[in-house]
Amino acid sequence: MLNIRIITVVGANGTMGCNVSGIFASFGNCRVYMVSRDIEKSKKAVAKAAASVRAGSISANLIAADYSMLQACVEDSDLVFESAKEDLDVKLDVTKQLAAYLQPHAIACTGSSGLSITTLAECFPENLRSHYFGVHMFNPPYNLTLCEVTPTKYSDRKLFDELKEYLKHTLFRTVVEVKDSPAFLGNRIGFQFINEALQYAEKYKDNGGIDYIDAILGSYTGRSMSPLTTSDFVGLDVHKAIVDNLYENTHDYAHETFTLPTFAQCLIDSGKLGRKTGGGLYKLEKYDGGFKRLTVYDIASGTYRDKMNYVLIVGAEG
């Protein structure tokens, strides 16, 4: 079993970086350096990480840091977890910095949801590429235990197997080994469905669009969270990164299902990314006195309106 006591999470102010820090600090009982470009954002992320696992007591294990402290943090760590923006150029830049400081005994991972792990591994010197793996947890990781782990052609298989055991038995993840292919397994399937739902919302914008499609593909199909609500939760920027990667790097029967609809790009361009920005496909309006009103983006008019309660006829006798 791996002896992992100190961890650096880079990009810890982001949603996943913050939540993963909480997992390492609570279930792993590790000291976690939470690194972002702004120390104040890292300090705020410490409180959010503790809240994400409902354990304020782990705050003592969470240490706010910024990039001026990156070398010291990485050199002190048994495992380094990169959780930067889901953009290959951004991740390459960050990973090259980590490669300069990673110690010979340490493991490095990316939390990428679908970029090439092999390409990122090649940022490291040849003697350390075998210590680099993909470890993709799902959001929120406290509730969703699925974890995709990806080796590369450079991987030390014994070390990879030990990492899987650590994830299973220490962090209590449901571990699935996947190939290094675009979006791996979960997002390849999930975001084809979610993006097709987004395309159908645009196609049927005059019938209601977003909430209309969510009503059809939500609880009636046994889903606790409908597909476009899921996209809003994940963030339209993350959604775009995943489907753009799939559109560019896959060329099978599903290729066109990864085309992002125009209205979604317009929302992204205007900073309306979903829950994390206060509104995207849906927006929760809050008023004095505690009154709340859930609205939805109306594609046809380009404005927000009240979310409708659709009554669907799912079957008939005779």
Residues 89 and 172 in one domain: yes
Last residue of a domain, one of 177, 206, 235: 177
Residues 35 and 173 in one domain: yes
In whole angstroms, what separates CA 285 from the centre of its chain? 25
Q: Is residue 206 assigned to a domain?
A: yes
pLDDT at 316: 53
Domain of 254, in residue numbers? 186-306
Q: Which string of DSSP letters, residue by residue, matches 119-188? A: HHHTTS-TTTGGGEEEEEEPSSTTT--EEEEE--TT--HHHHHHHHHHHHHTS--EEEE--SSTTTTHHH
Which stretches within the chain are classed as H helix?
A: 15-26, 39-52, 70-75, 88-99, 117-121, 157-169, 186-203, 210-217, 227-234, 236-249, 262-269
In whole angstroms, what separates CA 132 from the centre of its chain? 19
Model confidence pLDDT, tens digit, residues 275-313: 999 999 999 999 888 899 999 999 999 999 999 999 877
Number of domains in the chain: 2
pLDDT at 317: 54
Last residue of a domain, one of 150, 177, 204: 177
CATH number of the domain within which 51 lies: 3.40.50.720
pLDDT at 315: 62
**3-state class of 33 per DSSP?**
strand
Last residue of a domain, one of 151, 177, 203: 177
Residues 86 and 168 in one domain: yes
Model confidence pLDDT, tens digit, residues 243-277: 999 999 999 999 999 999 999 999 999 999 999 99
pLDDT at 318: 46
Residues 6 or more apart from 302 whose CB is under 8 A from it? none
Instruction: Give the Cβ contact number of residue 5 at 10 Å.
Output: 12
Report the chain (318 residues): mean pLDDT per 10 consecutive residues. Answer: 94 94 96 97 94 84 97 98 95 98 97 96 97 95 95 97 98 97 95 97 97 93 91 94 94 96 98 95 91 95 95 64
Residues 95 and 159 in one domain: yes
pLDDT at 27: 95
Q: Is residue 311 assigned to a domain?
A: no
